[in-house]
Structure 1
Amino acid sequence: MRLGQTSIIYFLSKLFASALGFLATIYIARMLGPGPLGVYHVVLGLVSWLAIVGKVGLSGAISKRISEGEERGAYALAGATIILGLFILITCGLLLFRSYITAYVGYPATGYIVVILLIVLLKSLVNALLVGLHLVHVSGVLSPVRTGTRALFQIALVAASAGTAGLFVGHIVGFGLVVVIGGYFIARNLPDLSRPERRHFQRLVDFAKFSWLGSLQSQMFSYTDIIVLGVFVSSGLIGVYAAAWNIAEFLILFSGALSSTLFPEMSSLSAEKDSQAVARIVEQSLSFGGLFLIPGLFGGALLGERILRIYGPEFPKGATVLTVLIVANLLMGYQNQLLNTLNAIDRPDLAFQVNLVFVGTNIALNIALIYLYGWIGAAVATAASVAASLVLAYYQVDAIIDFEVPTREIAKQWFAAVLMGGVVYTGLRAESTYGLLNHNVATVGILVILGAGVYFAVLLAISMEFRTAVDQNMPFDLPLLSSA
């Protein structure tokens, strides 16, 4: 299967999953309001941080070692053993400090946190094994299964008046199902498990001692602001902020799909000492890292208030926050590609330095700017810390691999996005002036579809690289593209 087709399968699966989650969040927000939604996301934030301790970078280490193709069964069992042991230690700590957790969250959630943590750790182990076995497309297909199951159970439980507890139970069921399904595919493709030796644990630890900070960076990008906001603002505002995050992260899906797909390929090429091939993949990943994020920035700035209005009357006040968070995701889209490269070529030590810059600036800026400016400060802190780590990541990769930033291709994407923005702005003004539809959801839907059509039509017209990529990765021939 071509890399592009694998990325598209993974992306479309993630896209469908996020769409299901988006609809579920809208329903929950309308039924329960921003308060319970804020409690739910604070718990998820705590779990994400605890999962970092529970994995200590082992997900990346397991994917790396298994992708190398030797003694896969031993590395899988060694990684699972370490993760289970760490989970037991964390659970003891949670039970010891349950009163403090309840006071912080504002809800008796310790039991839910323990179960969600277990299922999240198992899911991360399954994903790591699937990526290492070059089954990224399977991992991607499991996303809509997880999100769809979670969404259906949450909606059903909320409708049955289960309240906040229903959000936690639905989350557990969704993750649990994909662990079972993913485990089935792993059992079919992983050789017989063999008893790991000390060297297997050591090689995992050698990689993980650097890559754990990458896990911390990933979770801090999504949850540090929410965790710190939990100290300074109400759960209602956190619910609005989480809704904005939900929209912003929707746009980074393709970049994440690209990273997950390219990692095992770059890892294999690196093991073969083919630096030229790795450089070509790096350039391609940067060419398409902002494919959806760049137009998403224009769309978010123009339609952010109307999109948030879909969640309920209390949510449009997060429009400015949404725009800043999209900028953060745009920068993270490129940073992900560069960090992915460092890990794939077995330089987790350099990725560690990049992540250290992000972690340090993120914590410091979030505390300072949230204290001074509230939730706007949280969004700015996230964007600024990503920008700083992106610059360092570029210099680290550039020092090892001879590659060129595809500035012409990226500029074409910006040009297409500007034209798209003009069309969307014109349509928005016409609707506001003449009241053509007088229906917010219909207006948003039509303008999003129109804008996407304009963006991709312009990009197909002006970018030979984009036309070639589409043509080569379509399951059938398109004469118009082939002739171009």
Structure 2
Amino acid sequence: MRLGQTSIIHFASRFVASASGFAATVFIGRILGSGGLGTYYLILSLVAWLGIAVKMGVPSSITKRISEGTDDAAYAVAGTSISILLFVVVSALVLLFREQVNEYIGHPAAVIVVLFLGVNLAQSITNSVLRGQHLVHISGVFTPIRTGSRSIVQIIGLLSGLGLTALYIGYTAGYVLVALFGLWVALKNFQNMRLPNRKHYRELISYAKFSWIGSLRSRAFNWVDVTILGFFVSQSVIGIYTAAWNISVFLILFGGSLSQTLFPEMSSLSADEDSEAVADLFETALAFSGLILIPGLIGGTLLGEQLLRIYGDEFSQGGTILSVLIVATLIQGYQRQFTTTLNALDKPEIAFRINAVFIAANVILNLSLIPYFQVIGAAAATATAVAISLVAAHYMLSSLIDYSIPFGEIARQWGAAAVMGVVVALGRRAETTYIDFSYEFVTVLILVILGAGVYSVSLFALSGRFRKTVIDNLPSRLSQISV
């Protein structure tokens, strides 16, 4: 029950954060247009890729070593010092090649890239410490604070006529705020205050040398398509693609919360050599990974154009792109649980190979399909690559632990989603035939709420496991969660 409550708190925090981020993105799209949105996301894409070199798997390594329960402060200090050194080196290279950076983005933003790298690193380090301290729900609460404060500052700046500068100020303010709060909480929860020695650096590096590709995989899933599209299409097309991408990744939040919650628990059980308990947690993760993604795929397919039109009329042409991207995030939701479990079992070298397969497939497929099919090719390439890595992950993990895929539970989720799809389709038909709403956003909101309600009730009726999970984690029991 405690893990369920932690996941719920973490998910709710990320949901609020994503909702505020979605609102800010809508403002960016409406005020700056698809071109301004495309420029901003090209900057974020570059920051994401350079962030791999800045972090090199160190944050994941910090989480792993701290979760093992010894020398937490020493590992935190060692990891931070390594990351600062890497940041200095990467930042110097960005400034040295600032002309090439500015030319790619189409905007003088090299200094902004360095600034974003710095604040992103600070927040990443504090979050990794909190997750290692089994405070996933606390780190999750910081997410809406970061995104909310960023969005508020950005929206105020946009309304004040600051343009792209408003986006830079808001991004920086949000990350700095949560980094400071996170540092304060982490310091209060350190168990063993001591400085690191050579052993701590060696153990961090031994894990990080494999886990860094996990960050590369995450960046590849989120940014390979955008980065390659930057060489072939206009910033306006990239803006439409990223609007669709923002909606699709909104649906993967619960799966991400689940994997981050279970990782320190699996890691602790693995250290105690309790593989059966690890397998049980993994099966639970698989059972609920598609809880939101499955109905999201059906709903996104039915309402894609209307959802995208919220950004502006020019964005509505991305409806098909949205459907393909939701397929990609659905597969990714399951695949993430496999690699999370491998890392928790202290098998980063296996996760390394799986992630390498995904990255290679994603890059090759994007380079092959984008020149001919552009944004549709980019979405299809990402979906295909993550499917390949899912098959590889299943093969690798099945050789380490015995587990069963909960096909029955997944089928019940599809059944409930099908009922929802029929109701939403009928509602959409009634709206277009008999009702004339002045604001399409109101129509979409009503249909989304209706669909969510029908899906929840249908799944509650179909699935005993879902009913038990809901009852076990009712708000009246949330006071039992340990902080």
Q: TM-score range by the shorter chain?
A: over 0.9
- Once residues 317 and 168 of structure 2 are traced to their aligned partners in structure 1, the CA distance between those partners, rounded to angstroms, is 27
CA deviations 1:339-375 (Å, max 9, x no partner) are 1000001000110011000010011111111111101
Shift, 1:168, TM fit: 1.3
Shift, 1:32, TM fit: 1.1
Shift, 1:190, TM fit: 1.3
CA deviations 1:138-188 (Å, max 9, x no partner) are 111001100011001101111111111211111011111000111110010
Q: Indicate whether 1:331 and 2:321 are aligned.
A: no
Shift, 1:191, TM fit: 3.4
- Once residues 239 and 170 of structure 1 are traced to their aligned partners in structure 2, the CA distance between those partners, rounded to angstroms, is 19
Shift, 1:439, TM fit: 3.0
- Once residues 43 and 190 of structure 2 are traced to their aligned partners in structure 1, the CA distance between those partners, rounded to angstroms, is 34
Report the secondary structure of 1:314's partner residue.
helix
Q: TM-score, normalised by structure 2?
A: 0.98
- Once residues 260 and 406 of structure 1 are traced to their aligned partners in structure 2, the CA distance between those partners, rounded to angstroms, is 20
- Once residues 373 and 165 of structure 2 are traced to their aligned partners in structure 1, the CA distance between those partners, rounded to angstroms, is 32
CA deviations 1:244-298 (Å, max 9, x no partner) are 1110000000000000000000000011111111111010000000000000000
- Once residues 353 and 257 of structure 2 are traced to their aligned partners in structure 1, the CA distance between those partners, rounded to angstroms, is 24
Structure 1 letter corresponding to 2:376? I
Superposition RMSD on alpha carbons, in Å? 1.1
- Once residues 139 and 401 of structure 2 are traced to their aligned partners in structure 1, the CA distance between those partners, rounded to angstroms, is 29
Q: Is the 8 A contact 1:430 1:436 kept in 2?
A: no
State how 1:377-456 maps to structure 2 within 5 Å. 377-456=377-456
Corresponding residue for residue 169 of structure 1: 169
Shift, 1:396, TM fit: 1.1
Equivalenced residues, count: 478
CA deviations 1:44-63 (Å, max 9, x no partner) are 01001111011111111110
Consecutive unaligned residues of structure 2, counting only runs of 5 or more, are: 478-483
- Once residues 317 and 233 of structure 1 are traced to their aligned partners in structure 2, the CA distance between those partners, rounded to angstroms, is 15
Q: Indicate whether 1:148 and 2:151 are aligned.
A: no
Report the secondary structure of 2:162's partner residue.
coil
CA deviations 1:93-133 (Å, max 9, x no partner) are 01110000111100000111001000111111011001000
Q: Is the 8 A contact 1:77 1:194 kept in 2?
A: no
Q: Is the 8 A contact 2:293 2:329 kept in 1?
A: yes
Report the secondary structure of 2:475's partner residue.
coil
Q: Is the 8 A contact 1:154 1:170 kept in 2?
A: yes
Corresponding residue for residue 131 of structure 2: 131
Corresponding residue for residue 473 of structure 1: 473
Corresponding residue for residue 482 of structure 1: none
Report the secondary structure of 1:161's partner residue.
coil
Corresponding residue for residue 242 of structure 2: 242
Runs of 4+ in 1 over 6 A off after TM superposition: none
Corresponding residue for residue 191 of structure 2: 191
Corresponding residue for residue 481 of structure 2: none
Shift, 1:193, TM fit: 4.0
Report the secondary structure of 2:312's partner residue.
coil
Q: Indicate whether 1:24 and 2:30 are aligned.
A: no
Corresponding residue for residue 480 of structure 2: none
CA deviations 1:218-253 (Å, max 9, x no partner) are 011111111111111111111111111110000000
Structure 2 letter corresponding to 1:80? T
- Once residues 192 and 262 of structure 1 are traced to their aligned partners in structure 2, the CA distance between those partners, rounded to angstroms, is 24
- Once residues 60 and 80 of structure 2 are traced to their aligned partners in structure 1, the CA distance between those partners, rounded to angstroms, is 13
Corresponding residue for residue 262 of structure 2: 262
- Once residues 367 and 190 of structure 2 are traced to their aligned partners in structure 1, the CA distance between those partners, rounded to angstroms, is 45
- Once residues 73 and 176 of structure 2 are traced to their aligned partners in structure 1, the CA distance between those partners, rounded to angstroms, is 23
Corresponding residue for residue 353 of structure 1: 353
Report the secondary structure of 1:195's partner residue.
coil
- Once residues 254 and 7 of structure 1 are traced to their aligned partners in structure 2, the CA distance between those partners, rounded to angstroms, is 8
Q: Is the 8 A contact 2:70 2:192 kept in 1?
A: no
